[in-house]
Amino acid sequence: MGGRRVIGALAGLATAVLAAGCTSGAGSGPSRAAGQAADAAVASASTFTTPSPGTAGRRTPLIVYYPRSVAGRWYLVPERHQVALATRPVEAALKELLAGSPLYAGSTRPFPTGSRLLGLTVAEGTATVDLSREVVGVRRGEPTRYAVQALVWTVTRAEDVRRVLVQVQGRTAGEVDGRTLADLWGGKGSPAGLVRDLTIRLAPLGLTEPSPGMWVGGDRIVVKGEACVPKGVVSLRLWDATGKVAAQGVTTADGSKPSRVPFTASLAFDPPAEAVDWTLEVFEASPRDGSARYSVLVPVKVGR
């Protein structure tokens, strides 16, 4: 079962579902200047939004950002979730972020279990988000910074919002359960709200296919996602149940682009006679020794 060459093709930029900058500064989100120019006047009443006509209950893809730590380095990881719209997209995305589960291993919910959305209003480019007191239990330092920015990036991606005014139990200042809210916002808060932190680190790889646990029929697995890696080289390995490499190869996204670029690849392998659990690894390889600097592991089921 030697590794076969992987067949890779760059997908059209117009079809990107996780489009964002290679670094956050090059992202598709609002610039810092634009965010600072946003009107700060916004009603703060804790009232929820209503869905657009004809959208209630319809499943739609939403991008949710999760924190992930790899070898001590934190990242924001965009994931494409199919969410049933019982509300406007921004509210649905927030509830998915707080109570849903990341699709891919390694990513985590930004705030502790039990964190809830208490209220939400959107007015004049500013979303006012009221969260329950459980959120103050997030670990200090980088975990806090990436948790808050996961919320900000998710909100500003879900709707035409430039700023996010975050409250805890209806408060934007003072203490909640012994933690100052100024500490929770990392010193970047303001009466006008938070904008995307353009120094945040985005994950170099993001996948949309295959989904974890997917059954792969035949002898070829299709991999789709986005990458922003040196020279655009994305490496792939398929591990069998014994920990041996059943197939491996590389594909190339457009490494000349200073942004996350979609890629599609297919990795051929010799399927086992019975259905078994294998693991797909998609990774950024170190140019020095080929080791995985950042990887995404996806359990899949293969076999006839």
Whether 31 shows a pLDDT value over 50: the answer reads no
pLDDT tens-place string over residues 45-54: 345 555 566 5
Task: Give the model's pLDDT for residue 2.
Answer: 47
Bridge partners (DSSP) of residue 295 are 283
Q: Kindly indicate the confidence band of residue 298, based on its pLDDT and cuts at 50, 70 and 90.
A: very high
Q: Which of 32, 38, 20, 9 is nearest to 124 (CA)?
A: 38
Dihedral of the alpha carbons of 116, 119, 124, 126, in degrees to the nearest 10: -30
Task: Give the model's pLDDT for residue 23.
Answer: 55
Task: Give the model's pLDDT for residue 185.
Answer: 83
> Which of 29-33, 50-54, 160-164, 208-212 bottoms out in mean pLDDT, i.e. has the lowest?
29-33
Task: Give the model's pLDDT for residue 123.
Answer: 92
Sheet arrangement for strand 126-131: 117-123, 126-131, 163-168
Q: Treating both helix axes as pointing N-terminal to C-terminal, what angle do 142-158 and 89-99 enclose, rounded to 10 degrees?
A: 150
pLDDT tens-place string over residues 100-155: 999 999 999 999 999 999 999 999 999 999 999 999 999 999 999 999 999 999 99
Bridge partners (DSSP) of residue 78 are 65
Q: How far apart are CA 225 and CA 17, in angstroms?
A: 9
CA distances from 147 to 110, 202, 209, 239, 244 (A): 4, 13, 25, 32, 36
pTM: 0.79
pLDDT tens-place string over residues 42-95: 333 345 555 566 555 678 889 999 999 998 999 999 999 998 877 788 999 999
* Percent over 70 (pLDDT), the chain: 78
Whether 30 shows a pLDDT value over 60: the answer reads no
CB 207, CB 283: distance < 8 Å: no
> Which of 32-41, 145-154, 216-225 bottoms out in mean pLDDT, i.e. has the lowest?
32-41
Mean pLDDT in residue range 238-254: 92
Q: How far apart are CA 94 and CA 189, in angstroms?
A: 19
pLDDT tens-place string over residues 248-280: 999 988 766 667 889 999 999 999 999 999 999
Q: How far apart are CA 61 and CA 80, in angstroms?
A: 6
Dihedral of the alpha carbons of 246, 247, 248, 254, in degrees to the nearest 10: -140
